[in-house]
Structure formats: structure tokens, C-alpha cells
Amino acid sequence: MVIEFTRIHQRVIWSCSISDRTGSVNHLLLRKTEKETNQIHSYQRDREKMSGVAIHASSWGAALVRISPYTFSAIGIAISIGVSVLGAAWGIYITGSSLIGAAIEAPRITSKNLISVIFCEAVAIYGVIVAIILQTKLESVPSSKMYDAESLRAGYAIFASGIIVGFANLVCGLCVGIIGSSCALSDAQNSTLFVKILVIEIFGSALGLFGVIVGIIMSAQATWPTK
């Protein structure tokens, strides 16, 4: 017995054909009312007009535009804070373990070298700030407009903003952490090196700032269609 589902429309209307061994085919057409069907037909035509693309071509692109923009937004916000905190934590443990070991023989380095830990922590704070900004950009749109090009754009803008901030902060946290570890060890041997290596760390922490700036600019693009 072969059951074949074919999509007739891009929404929930399916045609279920059930064929048994005799080869005869029974069509079971599940469909909405005539009015909705017509509405859906006109909706499809409108969309084709707006985007100029044959939406119902079976391709990855077609699948992608059918994912809700809210999914993308939510993932973007999650990545923005989750991956930033990952970077900050990674950097802090790299610096912290070297700092503790070096401070046993040279206790004077502890207070100055906490700056490296603070730079790593700043990276996590950037992630939190951007996540809060992004979540204020989320608005409800009526379900008819949910797959409009404009709302898709808003969803993608929030997603991209989250990725930018998250990964920029990940590598920034790593960079500052590794330099902080070397800074602690060098300071323990020769205290004139501390300020020079701190300058390198400042350049490293600027990377996270670049990510935050671009992320906030991107999130300004997140304008949902008005009701």
C-alpha cells in the first residue's frame, strides 16, 4: 500500500492518495473550505508578485523562508548571550589559573592582574546588553504578515546581530584570556612588562567592542511590518 502526500498549497492542505494492491487509487483530499482555498490562492499570487520568485520550487531556499522569523530571532538572542558568556568564561579560566600559580611566588602581581579578568568579564556584559536590546526589538505581527519579506528581514537582522555579537565576543574573550595569562607570568618575573602587555590586551578587547557596535547597527534594521 503506498501512501503519497503531495503538497498542493504551501499551507496545510495535502492530498493523500492511497493506492492498494489492485492499483486503484483513492484520493482523499483534505482541504479547507472553498473560501479559504481561494484566499490561499490569492495569497500565493501576491507573494509571487512581491518576491518575484517561484516560492513553491522545492529547494532549500524555499524551506528556509518558511521558517518563522521568530525562530531566527530567538536563536539570535540565545547565541548573543550564550556564546559571549562562553568566550568570557574560557578567557577567565585561562587567565585565572596562570595568575593563581604565579601569585604564589610573587604575591604582588595579584591586584594589578585582575584587570585581565575584568576585560574578559566585560565581554560577557556586552553579550547581556546586546541580548536585552535585541529582545526589545521583538514585536508581534499578525499571522497574515508573518512571512512577509519585511518580517523575514527583521527576523534575519536579529539573528545576524546575535551571531555577530556572540562570535566576536567568543574570540575576544579567548584573546584577552591568553594574553592575560602571559601577562601574569611575565609580570611575576619582571614588573616593568606589565603595562606594555596591558596595551596588547586593550587592543584585543577592542575586538569585542567592534562586534557590539555592528550588532547594534544591525539590530536597528529589525523593523517588523506595521499592523
Partner 1 sequence: MYGFEALTFNIHGGYLEAIVRGHRAGLLTTADYNNLCQCENLEDIKMHLSATKYGSYLQNEPSPLHTTTIVEKCTLKLVDDYKHMLCQATEPMSTFLEYIRYGHMIDNVVLIVTGTLHERDVQELIEKCHPLGMFDSIATLAVAQNMRELYRLVLVDTPLAPYFSECLTSEDLDDMNIEIMRNTLYKAYLEDFYKFCQKLGGATAEIMSDLLAFEADRRAVNITINSIGTELTREDRKKLYSNFGLLYPYGHEELAICEDIDQVRGVMEKYPPYQAIFSKMSYGESQMLDKAFYEEEVRRLCLAFEQQFHYAVFFAYMRLREQEIRNLMWISECVAQNQKSRIHDSVVYMF
The residues of the shown chain that bind partner 1, judged by CB under 8 A, are: 90, 93-94, 97-102, 104-106, 174, 178, 181-182, 184-185, 188-189
Q: Using CA atoms, how far apart are residues 97 and 91, in angstroms rounded to an integer?
A: 10
User: Closest CB to partner 1 among 85 and 185?
Assistant: 185
User: Closest CB to partner 1 among 119 and 224?
Assistant: 119
Count of residues in the chain:
227
Smallest distance, Å, CB 106 to partner 1? 7
User: Closest CB to partner 1 among 178 and 218?
Assistant: 178
Smallest distance, Å, CB 116 to partner 1? 13
- Determine the number of helices (DSSP H) and then strands (DSSP E) in the chain: 6, 3
User: Closest CB to partner 1 among 38 and 189?
Assistant: 189
From the list 84, 75, 147, the residue with the least C-alpha distance to 120 is 84
Amino acid found at 128: V
Q: Output the CA–CA distances (angstroms, integers) from residue 192 to 125, 153, 196, in the order listed.
A: 30, 52, 8
Three cell numbers at 159? 539573528
Smallest distance, Å, CB 100 to partner 1? 6
Residue 109 · residue 184 · CB < 8 Å: yes
User: Closest CB to partner 1 among 106 and 216?
Assistant: 106
